[in-house]
């Protein structure tokens, strides 16, 4: 089984952090987002990883070649024309079954036994309260997928498709994508995978869903912090100490970070080479080599090499006073 990773997007919802790096390399809980995703896939021993790159793709290639000792392939999507425009660019590389992952989220999923299923594909799903922002799966009476609908205005199902798909025979998908493009089946000038899969199902191919227990979006800073909290609560925290200070768990502090005279945590991730002095930091991500001094920080993402310096203040505060800074 191959693993196909479309990572060409601009990551606009995560700016300013994606001005200097692609979204999959934004760090949380001590690792790039993309590494957390692949941690959940690599136990399946994929034959190769195929990255579809675009914006700052060289950074992803450099990172992947340093991180993984498996066959790697890289193709470029020069224009953002949608999901299937990206996937079609892998057709010379993937000739059998594949797992397609859109790695802008974190998940816990069961990838066992996919090749043994008597179906042509699997769409991973999770039931959500408001499905209008997602592609949804509508099931037939036999439990197989009847329809896939991208961001419906009037949802008839709460089963959101989370961006993970298993395809038994990739040439079948490539043929459907070519038909999709010929028919100009697109939404807001982009070609979505749901339309190509629907063409396959209309031709008699069978797809089922496999539900996931955990699905955390990483699309914006607020969602990134929520995912950071999830990871720290579920095994990514690490014991750490501070000079004349305290690290409150769950938190992750890289061994090369320097914390002095500060209270850090809970739910803080601190990257390599970062320094925090005279500060209070909670519910935050502090990336590599960032410097914080004399500040109170919460619900924040501090990018790599950023500097945040405050000014110590002196107060004479009388009874029943209220001051908010």
Residue 188 reports pLDDT greater than 90:
no
Tens-digit pLDDT profile for residues 267-288? 999 999 999 999 999 999 999 9
- Give the SS3 label for residue 8: coil
Task: Tell me if 323 is assigned to some domain.
Answer: no
- CA 238 – CA 229 distance, rounded (Å): 13
End-to-end CA distance of the chain: 54
Q: What stretches of 16-150 adopt beta strand conformation (E)?
A: 27-28, 31-32, 48-53, 72-76, 98-101, 105-108, 121-127, 135-139, 145-150
Would you say the C-alpha torsion 139, 142, 143, 147 has a positive or negative sign? Answer: negative
- CA 19 – CA 56 distance, rounded (Å): 9
CATH code of 138's domain: 3.90.550.10
Is there a single domain that holds both residue 211 and residue 269? no
Is there a single domain that holds both residue 124 and residue 14? yes
Range of the domain at 280: 237-309
- CA 189 – CA 20 distance, rounded (Å): 27
* Lowest-pLDDT range of 121-135, 170-184, 193-207: 121-135
Is there a single domain that holds both residue 12 and residue 86? yes
Is there a single domain that holds both residue 40 and residue 164? yes
- CA 17 – CA 40 distance, rounded (Å): 24
- Predicted TM-score (pTM) of the model is 0.89
Tens-digit pLDDT profile for residues 18-38? 888 899 998 888 899 999 999
Is there a single domain that holds both residue 100 and residue 30? yes
CATH code of 293's domain: 2.160.10.10
Task: Tell me if 199 is assigned to some domain.
Answer: yes
Average pLDDT for the chain = 91
pLDDT of 319 reads 64
Tens-digit pLDDT profile for residues 221-264? 898 999 999 999 998 887 777 888 899 999 999 999 999 999 99
pLDDT of 279 reads 95
pLDDT of 321 reads 64
Task: Tell me if 315 is assigned to some domain.
Answer: no
Residues 319-324: what's their mean pLDDT? Answer: 69
pLDDT of 18 reads 83
Task: Tell me if 232 is assigned to some domain.
Answer: no
Task: Tell me if 92 is assigned to some domain.
Answer: yes
């Amino acid at each position: 089984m191959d693993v196909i990773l479309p990572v060409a997007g601009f990551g606009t919802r995560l700016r300013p952090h994606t001005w200097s790096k692609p979204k999959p390399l934004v760090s949380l809980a001590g690792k790039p987002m993309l590494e957390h995703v692949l941690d959940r896939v690599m136990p399946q021993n994929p034959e190769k990883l195929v990255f579809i790159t675009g914006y700052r793709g060289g950074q992803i290639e450099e990172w992947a070649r340093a991180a993984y000792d498996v066959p790697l392939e890289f193709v470029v999507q020069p224009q953002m024309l949608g999901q299937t425009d990206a996937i079609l660019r892998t057709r010379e590389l993937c000739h059998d079954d594949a797992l397609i992952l859109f790695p802008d989220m974190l998940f816990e999923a069961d990838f066992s036994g996919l090749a043994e299923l008597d179906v042509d594909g699997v769409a991973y799903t999770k039931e959500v309260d408001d499905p209008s922002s997602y592609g949804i799966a509508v099931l037939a009476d036999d439990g197989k997928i009847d329809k896939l609908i991208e961001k419906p205005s009037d949802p008839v199902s709460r089963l959101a498709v989370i961006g993970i798909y298993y395809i038994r025979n990739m040439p079948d998908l490539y043929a459907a994508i070519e038909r999709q493009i010929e028919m100009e089946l697109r939404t807001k000038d982009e070609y979505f995978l749901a339309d190509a899969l629907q063409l396959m199902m209309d031709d008699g191919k069978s797809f089922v869903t496999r539900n996931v227990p955990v699905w955390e979006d990483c699309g914006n800073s607020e969602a990134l912090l929520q995912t950071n909290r999830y990871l720290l609560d579920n095994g990514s925290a690490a014991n750490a100490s501070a000079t004349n200070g305290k690290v409150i768990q769950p938190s992750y502090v890289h061994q090369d970070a320097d914390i002095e005279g500060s209270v850090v945590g809970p739910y803080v991730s601190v990257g390599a080479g970062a320094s925090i002095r005279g500060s209070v930091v909670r519910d935050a991500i502090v990336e590599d080599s960032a410097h914080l001094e004399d500040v109170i920080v919460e619900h924040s993402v501090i990018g790599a090499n950023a500097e945040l310096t405050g000014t110590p203040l002196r107060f004479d505060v009388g009874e029943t006073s209220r001051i908010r800074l």
